[in-house]
Amino acid sequence: MSLNILQLGEPVLRQPARKLSLEEIRSRETRQLIEEMRKAMYQAPGVGLAAPQVGVPLQVAVIEDKPDYTKDVSPEVLKTRERRPVAFQVIINPKITRLDKAEVEFFEGCLSLAGFTAVVPRARKVRVECLDERGEPRAIEASGWYARILQHEIDHLHGTIYIDRMRPRTFMHVDNFNRHWKEKEMAEVERLLRYK
């Protein structure tokens, strides 16, 4: 089974996904789904993928931010974004809670809206209570880029896409982002695009 990542407009991307029972989580079908989602995420490549993005309306997401994804990113940018590698993990039936009022804004993209990006405000720090691929309870406290990835993928499980939260004036093609905006500080992006 090889999975295709669906693009915006598919109804499953806008509908809330269903929670899984422990029996379903531990099933051969779910194990196979997780493995195929992992392959699809790597092939894209991306740092996260939710089951609705491959046409499966279940509350399952896979996440991994590999070290080689940031090898060409400057240390200053990594520090500003609080971005560090995140080991492969599965989150099932997640419940997310903000841990502080601080919000951070950075450009964000999505495998289901290929070729585009926009500035999205997100909570800087979150706590996620979920089940792992074995059905074991897990609590994750995350900040910075890891918190952003979790919020993005959990949004997918509720039928929400980053464009629902974005600063509309910042929506652009990734080629133009790479050409004009990639190396700019967010304060300069805000000033030039006048999005607040």
Domains recognised in the chain with CATH numbers? 11-103+121-167 (3.90.45.10)
Decide if 190 is catalytic: no
What separation in angstroms does the CA of 54 have from each of 13, 46, 153, 178? 9, 14, 13, 27
CB 133 within 8 A of CB 63: no
Residue 166: which of 81, 107, 98 has the closest Cα? Answer: 107
State both tokens at 26. Answer: 């531990």
Express each pLDDT in 108-149 by its tens digit: 999 999 999 999 999 999 999 999 999 999 999 999 999 999
List the catalytic residue out of 10, 153, 183, 188.
Answer: 153
State both tokens at 82. Answer: 């609080």
State both tokens at 179. Answer: 């050409």
Helix (H) or strand (E) holding 179: none
Express each pLDDT in 50-73 by its tens digit: 999 999 999 999 999 999 998 888
Residue 83: which of 170, 179, 148, 128 has the closest Cα? Answer: 148
What's the sign of the alpha-carbon dihedral 14, 100, 136, 88?
positive
Percent of all residues in the chain with a pLDDT value above 90, rounded to a whole number = 89
Reported pTM: 0.95
User: Which whole number is the average pLDDT over 41-51?
Assistant: 97
Task: Determine the pLDDT at residue 1.
Answer: 64
Asked which of 18-27, 32-41, 76-85, 160-169 is least confident by mean pLDDT, the reply is 76-85
DSSP conformation letters of 113-169? STTEEEEEEEESEEEEEEE-TTS-EEEEEEEHHHHHHHHHHHHHTTT--GGGTS-GG
Express each pLDDT in 73-88 by its tens digit: 888 888 988 999 999 9
